[in-house]
Amino acid sequence: TRTPVNVTVTGAAGQIGYALLFRIASGHLLGADVPVKLRLLEIPQGLKAAEGTAMELDDCAFPLLKGIDIFDDPNQAFEGANVALLVGARPRTKGMERGDLLSANGGIFKPQGKAINDHAADDIKVLVVGNPANTNALIAQAAAPDVPAERFTAMTRLDHNRAISQLAKKTGADVTDIKRLTIWGNHSATQYPDVFHAEIAGKNAAEVIGDQAWLADEFIPTVAKRGAAIIEARGASSAASAANAAIDHVHTWVNGTAEGDWTSMGIPSDGSYGVPAGLISSFPVTCKDGKYEIVQGLDVNEFSRARIDASVAELIEERDAVRELGLI
Ligand code: NAX
């Protein structure tokens, strides 16, 4: 029998946590044959609710779930972690300046990065979901100098999945017919969903759509502002779809991308496509044997270049701001 994989989830009592934990425990994160142990991290006010969720997890009698431990100390929560999902973050509240937001999140992600550095397993893989996800990932990574930098990733898979769904709706294709879509840049309103290399049932997506105005005026803003549209409709931010994307991100990272396809992940840039090295930016990636690689050699047209550059400029500003604050 396999040794259980330790999965640490922060913000476990939040709404994404509630949608996420049951799917991890039922085998969707790593595979239907991989036993897991959950290590939940919350702030003290969240512990009671996390205990309630743990009771419900017990009540599912999931065959793969081999234990649940709950902590309010990151050093304990990340002990032996093989996978860490950093979901808990400080949301922007009314009147909060960007600097305040970044420093509040620095207060969360810097100690968590240090705890990962000091306590996680050697094969630790980190996904940051909590916003601003790319820059929070950068803060955690900077605090973990002994962990290979490429183990810190940020989630743009929800944007990726949203873009696939919008393309399927527009063209009448099945979501499974859409391949090689790319989200570039920051997980924010500046992100760039790129269809120029995407395929719909084997044909170039941009040619199938044939309407650059739809891309610029409908598709890109719909994908980029989907989070706000969900809040408007549900009265709460995306939770189950965000949890689903986190599951997809880690599952793909661990188990690989399909032949001929790729996915989107926020990862430390190696300088590819003119994105300054070290920034955590979204790229097209293939995954194999638990490692990812940036898809190389794509031709970036003018339309795409301007939009990638704008999102990367925002990431540079965020990086400079957290540098200024001494967080990296
Ligand atoms: P909730 O407010 O429901 O839950 C957050 C939980 O985190 C709370 O239970 C809180 O007590 C806990 N928490 C806060 N600080 C913590 C700390 N230092 N250690 C451990 N736990 C801590 O938010 P939820 O809707 O679950 O969203 C979580 C984060 O995901 C937010 O930052 C949100 O902006 C972000 N999102 C990111 C997305 C992405 O695509 N990257 C999409 C969905 C979501 O908006």
Residue 206 has pLDDT above 90, yes or no: yes
pLDDT beyond 80 at 237: yes
Q: How far is the CA of 127 from the centre of ligand 1 (A)?
A: 13
Q: What SS3 string covers 199-257?
A: EECCEEHHHHHCCHHHHHHHHHHHHHCHHHHHHHHHCCCCCHHHHHHHHHHHHHHHHCC
| Residue 93 pLDDT class (50, 70, 90 cuts) | confident
With cut-offs at 50, 70 and 90, classify the pLDDT of residue 95. confident
Q: Is the pLDDT of residue 118 over 90?
A: yes
Catalytic, out of 160, 187, 197, 249 = 187
Q: What is the pLDDT of residue 268?
A: 98
Tokens in use for 91? 């949301």
Q: Kindly report the length of the chain.
A: 328
Instruction: Give the residues across from 203 on adjacent strands.
Output: 200
Q: How confident is the model at residue 225 (pLDDT cuts 50, 70, 90)?
A: very high
Structure token pair of residue 47: 């512990």
Interval between CA 139 and ligand 1 midpoint (Å): 16
Indicate whether 1 pLDDT > 80: no
CB 13 near ligand 1, within 6 Å? yes
Q: 152 - beta bridge partners?
A: 126
Mean pLDDT rounded to a whole number for the chain: 97
Q: Which of 143, 147, 73 is nearest to 110 (CA)?
A: 143
Phi, then psi, of 8 in degrees rounded to 5: -95, 130
Walk me through the domains of the chain, giving residue ranges and CATH numbers.
Answer: 5-154 (3.40.50.720), 157-318 (3.90.110.10)
DSSP β-bridge partners for residue 178: 200
Closest atom, ligand 1, to C-alpha of 158? 40
The residue among 154, 227, 143, 148 whose CA lies nearest residue 186 is: 154
pTM: 0.98
Q: Is 131 annotated as a binding residue?
A: yes
Q: Indicate the pLDDT class of residue 189, thresholds 50, 70 and 90.
A: very high
Give which of 183, 155, 159 is closest to 11, Cα–Cα: 155
Q: Which of 275, 280, 256 is nearest to 328 (CA)?
A: 280
* Residue nearest (by alpha carbon) to ligand 1 atom 14: 88
Nearest atom within ligand 1 for CA of residue 187: 41
Please tell me whether the interface predicted TM-score (ipTM) of this complex is above 0.85.
yes
Cβ 157 vs Cβ 257: under 8 Å: no
CA of 87 to the centre of ligand 1 (A): 5
Can you tell me the distance from the alpha carbon of 198 to that of 180, in angstroms, rounded to the nearest whole number? 4
> Alpha-carbon distance 76 to 94, whole Å?
33
In percent, the amount of the chain with pLDDT more than 90 equals 96
pLDDT value, residue 292: 98
Please check the confidence at residue 81 and state whether its pLDDT lies above 80.
Answer: yes
Block residue for tokens 């790729």: 262
